[in-house]
Amino acid sequence: MPGTENVNKQRNLGGALGIVVLLFALAYRFFPGILHVEPQTQVQTSTTAPMARKPWVAEQSAPLLIRDAGEQPIVGTTLAEAIAMGPPAPVTKEVAGLLKNARKLEDDGKLFDPPDNNAVGLYRQVLEQDPNNPAALDALARIGGAVRDWSLAALERGDEAEAQRYAGL
């Protein structure tokens, strides 16, 4: 029976060899170039013949010609013009309240119904008080685009009555 001294040496040597093997495995896994061994690449083999397809070709158009028109004048307002124009007109509390209510009705889906309290009607009231209000103009343009899309979808489904209803709005 070997002595305890030999057993301790064997255990220490086995542990050290295990750590060295683990370090080499980690080094190979994360840094394969260190050992100058490239990982194998898997070759893909096909078991069926490829399908014959017509090759895809992008439509070719005439190349765009970029012409240098020389020095272009800078478009915009100067600092002096901006100072002369002054700040934008403030939104009144009444207009702000109408916009808030219109947004709430729009979020609730009440764009046109009920006739006496709907988002489109409130946006129109805002434009009566402030004809150039960007929030109301943007909202009406957005709602108009949605109504156009809904009417086209109704026509594609063959529902002419619903498309006519959207067209009448």
For 103, 112, 144, 156, 159, the CA distances from 108, given in Å and listed in that order, are: 9, 11, 17, 26, 25
Q: What is the pLDDT of residues 140-151, one digit of tens each?
A: 888 888 888 888
d(CA 23, CA 1): 33
Q: Is residue 72 very low, low, confident or very high in pLDDT (cuts 50, 70, 90)? A: low
DSSP state, 111? S
Q: What is the value of pTM for the model shown?
A: 0.46
Confidence of residue 22 (pLDDT cuts 50, 70, 90): very high
User: What number of other Cβ atoms are within 10 A of residue 90's Cβ?
Assistant: 8
Q: Distance from first CA to last CA of the chain, Å, rounded?
A: 102
Which carries the bigger pLDDT value, residue 160 or residue 56? 160
